[in-house]
């Protein structure tokens, strides 16, 4: 497997999920790197077919963290309950989805980065709960997800990678990897909701917005407000859990 290109190792191909990625192989400031097949990020996981289920079984997924709102879970379904041996956790990162009137603003990276920081502020308890779950070795390998896998998932991914010491530039590059998947997700939504074509198109800017500057602004905001991601961990009350997570998820480069 080590001979595969990094991109091929990182993207997990599934039929019912378009943005499932491995967070392994990323360098840290102290010369370590994140281990492969420990932490994953994804979009919605409610439409998995038999092939997808086999892939998840091969990855030994032990837990799923759902960052979506209660309404989204009720409308689109949760991770299948009949998949045995996988713990399911629901930690909504926000209960306020973008309204139609906000959709055009997602073309502005500053608006998006402010929105991301608002998610961290509003959803701090959920972020802390997610880190506590991830820190428990019995819950790994783990995947966390939202609806399209770039906004709320991007926030939690940035926080986790930042706390593990992954450089800002790499966090931003990881975020940008969602761009191609967003095109496929928008096509899927157009197909799934033909009677709501105009509504889907109005939300297209929200789905397609994957500007590196937006994640750069979020990272800058975290450092401006807290001083560092380590200090953020302390503010969230998860410093000891972070140490436990790093002990297993990091390895010498």
Q: How many structural domains are present in the chain?
A: 1
Give whole-number Cα distances, 4 to 26, 35, 57, in Å. Answer: 15, 15, 21
Confirm whether 123 is domain-assigned.
yes
Confirm whether 180 is domain-assigned.
yes
- Work out the number of other CB atoms within 10 angstroms of the CB of residue 65: 25
Confirm whether 253 is domain-assigned.
no
pTM: 0.94
Confirm whether 145 is domain-assigned.
yes
Confirm whether 1 is domain-assigned.
no
Mean pLDDT of the chain: 94
Confirm whether 23 is domain-assigned.
yes
Boundaries of domain holding 68: 6-246
Q: How confident is the model at residue 3 (pLDDT cuts 50, 70, 90)?
A: very low
Q: How confident is the model at residue 7 (pLDDT cuts 50, 70, 90)?
A: low
Any idea what the CATH number is for the domain that residue 30 is in? 3.90.190.10
Query: What is the distance in angstroms between the CA of the first residue and the CA of the last residue of the chain?
Result: 17
For the CA atoms of 107, 111, 116, 120, the dihedral, rounded to the nearest 10 degrees, stands at -170
Q: Is the pLDDT reported for residue 145 higher than 70? A: yes
Q: Is the pLDDT reported for residue 156 higher than 60? A: yes
Per-residue pLDDT tens for 23-37?
A: 999 999 999 999 999
- Work out the number of other CB atoms within 10 angstroms of the CB of residue 59: 15
Closest C-alpha among 38, 37, 46 to residue 14: 46
Confirm whether 252 is domain-assigned.
no
Closest C-alpha among 242, 216, 245, 246 to residue 230: 242
Per-residue pLDDT tens for 38-70?
A: 999 999 999 999 999 999 999 999 999 999 999
């Amino acid at each position: 497997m080590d001979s595969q290109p990094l991109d091929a190792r990182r993207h997990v191909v599934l039929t019912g999920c378009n943005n499932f990625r491995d967070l392994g192989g990323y360098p840290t400031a102290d010369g370590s790197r994140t281990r492969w097949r420990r932490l994953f990020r994804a979009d919605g996981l409610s439409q998995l077919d038999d092939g997808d289920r086999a892939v998840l079984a091969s990855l030994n997924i032990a837990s799923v963290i759902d960052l979506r709102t209660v309404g989204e879970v009720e409308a689109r379904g949760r991770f299948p309950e009949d998949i045995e041996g996988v713990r399911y956790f629901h930690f909504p990162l926000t209960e306020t989805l973008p309204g139609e009137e906000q959709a055009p603003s997602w073309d502005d990276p500053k608006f998006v980065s402010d929105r991301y920081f608002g998610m961290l502020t509003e959803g701090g308890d959920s972020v802390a709960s997610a880190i506590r779950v991830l820190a428990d070795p019995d819950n790994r390998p783990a995947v966390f997800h939202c609806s399209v896998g770039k906004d709320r998932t991007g926030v939690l991914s940035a926080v986790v990678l930042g706390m593990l010491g992954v450089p800002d530039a790499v966090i931003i590059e990881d975020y940008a990897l969602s761009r191609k998947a967003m095109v496929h997700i928008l096509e899927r939504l157009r197909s799934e909701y033909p009677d709501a074509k105009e509504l889907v198109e109005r939300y297209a800017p929200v789905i397609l917005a994957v500007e590196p500057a937006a994640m750069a602004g979020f990272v800058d905001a975290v450092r401006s407000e807290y001083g560092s991601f380590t200090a953020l961990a302390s503010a969230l009350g998860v410093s000891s859990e972070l140490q436990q997570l790093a002990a297993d998820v990091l390895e010498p480069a």
